[in-house]
Amino acid sequence: MTDESPAWPLWATEHEAAANAAAQEYGTLALTAPCPSCGASVRPDQRYCENCGADVHPEVGPVARAGVTTEETVKFNRPKASTPPCVECGGEVDADGYCQTCGAKAPSARDHFEAVPASWLAGVCDRGLVHNRNEDAMALWAASEPDRAAVLVICDGVSSSQDSDVAALAAAERARDVLAERRANSSDDRGSNSSNPDDGRWSSSSKPLADADEPDPLSTALIEATAEAQQAVIEHTAPDSPNAASCTLAAAVVEDGLVHWASLGDSRIYFLADDAHVQLSTDHSVAEELIRGGASRVEAENSLQAHAITRWLGRDADNIVPDTGVFAAPSDGWLLLCTDGLWNYASEPTALAEQLQAASAESDEPVKIARQLVRWANSQGGKDNITVALARLAANLNRTPQAPSDDLNEPAAGASASSTSVEEKD
């Protein structure tokens, strides 16, 4: 070992500042040192030498991931829950970060995380195979059983913008918190003033859609949550950033089979069942503009600017009002929110429904189905980050389904006018 080589352990206090200073974009560390056993190069974030397997820090316990670039990244990229199973084989991942079954190294907590707030609700967010970091984000919430109420929010960071991974997660969490708090406040207000059996639900959920003459309170709440998400993105964007962080947003509030949704950008919301395949949201994208102009879906989604979006969240956004809608499940089925890392490979609702059916062949647990969909997207190339959020819905026979048209396989109606601004997403 030369005098210039850092002393062991690599993450010793005197080297911590140097390691952080050497962190490159996407968390790649430039600082390395030779293994004390075999001399192979070892990074500071590695517990064992990849060449000989030697423990390079025998006197130090498990180490937190190094290489974060900002305080905001430390806060929002923290692990959300216990270590998930191996994404390669489903085996148990040991404390050293390696699968005990197949030996694969587990991704970081930000590269792959899962959420299971209820037995009927779950989501998986994954880096994919090509991108160097996970710029997708997901935030879920569910009411305590036996209430069947939930909030699902996903965001897709724009790859060409700075700190979009941090901003997207901040936006998703802020929107979820706003909507969950709205539900809690509604529960408190109704619970103290009424004996109605619908107490504790969002105020609009007990009103038949056909009689809804006034603006839907939850649509208003979704618009407000989107505005709060916009503020979160701005708060996590450096004031002097020449390319401000930006992201899409798709959100849904569920109550007993009734879905209130909001969409901004090209992350999508679907209802998929045996007898109905519905795309509830309509993309704000150049591809969608081409489809409206007469191009086929295949032609538009394979054009040069297919993933250029016309609305987004971010400091440079000129229209952050999302499309909103209400949908009553006509039969038992699945609410699916996903980023284009999934629908790139199955854009048509029918095609996506086929993949959902295949993913649920071995289990009806939402988290296992979501994992299978992520694995399938990765098997197709994994060219983008992938987020899948699933909620199992029961048929809401007391409502009037808001079908977009006579053909349930077509995207929902009510798309907004085109925007003159365009941002290239990938």
User: How confident is the model at residue 47, as a pLDDT?
Assistant: 67
d(CA 223, CA 238): 25
Q: Considering only residues 74 and 124, tell me which one the structure prediction assigns the higher pLDDT.
A: 124
Q: How many CB atoms lie within 10 A of CB 193?
A: 9
**Which pLDDT band holds residue 191 (cuts at 50, 70, 90)?**
low
User: How confident is the model at residue 21, as a pLDDT?
Assistant: 40
pLDDT tops 50 at residue 11: no
Query: Average pLDDT, whole number, for the chain?
Result: 79
Q: Considering only residues 310 and 193, tell me which one the structure prediction assigns the higher pLDDT.
A: 310
Q: What is the pLDDT of residues 295-320, one digit of tens each?
A: 988 888 888 887 799 999 999 999 99
* 327: enclosing H helix or E strand: strand 323-328
Residue 272: strand pairing partners: 277, 334
How is domain 110-424 classified at the CATH fold level?
Phosphatase 2c; domain 1 (3.60.40)
Strands ordered across the beta sheet of 112-118: 112-118, 121-126, 386-393, 333-338, 268-272, 277-279
pLDDT tops 70 at residue 422: no
Average pLDDT over residues 280-292: 93
Most confident of 53-57, 214-218, 401-405: 214-218
Q: What is the pLDDT of residues 196-219, one digit of tens each?
A: 434 445 544 334 343 445 667 899
pLDDT tops 70 at residue 12: no
Q: What is the pLDDT of residues 75-113, one digit of tens each?
A: 344 334 456 788 778 888 888 788 999 988 887 889 999
Task: Enter the tokens of residue 284.
Answer: 């704000």
Average pLDDT over residues 245-263: 94
Q: Where are the domains of the chain?
A: 1-67, 77-107, 110-424
Q: Where are the beta strands (DSSP E) in 157-287?
A: 246-247, 249-255, 258-264, 268-272, 277-279
Q: What is the pLDDT of residues 108-120, one digit of tens each?
A: 889 999 999 999 9
User: How confident is the model at residue 9, as a pLDDT?
Assistant: 41
Query: Does pTM top 0.85 for this prediction?
Result: no
